Amino acid sequence: MNERQPVRRPGGRSARVGEQVHRAVTDLIGERGYGNFTVGEVAARAGVADSSVYRRWGNLETLLTDVALTRLNTRSPMPDTGSLEGDLRTYAAQVAREITGPDGPAVLRLAVALSNDGQRGPRAGDALRTERMRQLQSMLDRATERGESAPDAPTVLDHVLAPMYIRVLFGMVPLTPEYVDGLVDRLL
């Protein structure tokens, strides 16, 4: 992202609307569960015009995906601890905390539901997941630039994220710190 800064007023109205809408969605999810509300209800709760929501997200599915993947992945920034091991341990612990938190399993199930299943066309979740994998790869590239030997992002997905996701999806919880650290140890 350093090379290509998006043209957007820093902070300001856009960021504020984004926060208000995300918070409205999170509140409505807590009260009614996923999907049991409309774009109009989100807008009213956020105190913004329906058109602001439609202009930015297009439809409810895209908005839910944005909230789900923000919560799953980007609420916690990618760590930059100065070592690959530190980065991976911090990242894995953050993801474990997020997906086992109060709405964690529901949000993870939503992310699955919003993903391309290989039989339909691309869905809203795909672009955001691709972006998050790119950010993970950047974290790994920093390690390589420091002279460390780093795995690639799909390998981290397969051997650190996927086991945690599947255990949460199958209800095989909690994910203990020893278990999460063990996944990172095995990868390194």
Residue 183 CB, nearest distance to a second copy (Å)?
7
Matching residue, tokens 């990868």 = 187
Cα(66)–Cα(124) distance, integer angstroms: 8
Complete DSSP assignment for 68-132: HHIIIIISSPPP--SSHHHHHHHHHHHHHHHHHSTTHHHHHHHHHHTS--SSS---HHHHHHHHH
Which lies closer to a second copy via its Cβ, residue 49 or residue 172?
Answer: 172
Which lies closer to a second copy via its Cβ, residue 3 or residue 117?
Answer: 117
Which lies closer to a second copy via its Cβ, residue 23 or residue 159?
Answer: 159
Report yes or no: 188 and 85 within 8 Å, Cβ to Cβ: yes
Residue 133 CB, nearest distance to a second copy (Å)?
10
Which lies closer to a second copy via its Cβ, residue 97 or residue 167?
Answer: 167
Cα(96)–Cα(79) distance, integer angstroms: 14
Which lies closer to a second copy via its Cβ, residue 39 or residue 157?
Answer: 157
Give the interface with a second copy as residue ranges (CB under 8 A).
100, 105-106, 109, 112-113, 115-119, 123, 125-126, 129, 157-159, 161-163, 165-174, 183, 186
Q: Which long-range contacts (C-beta less than 8 Å, at least 24 apart) are formed by 9-16?
A: none
Residue 115 CB, nearest distance to a second copy (Å)?
5
Which lies closer to a second copy via its Cβ, residue 10 or residue 102?
Answer: 102
Amino acid at 84: L
| Structural tokens at position 16 | 């504020």
Residue 34 CB, nearest distance to a second copy (Å)?
12
Residue 110 CB, nearest distance to a second copy (Å)?
12
Cα(75)–Cα(92) distance, integer angstroms: 14
Residue 112 CB, nearest distance to a second copy (Å)?
5
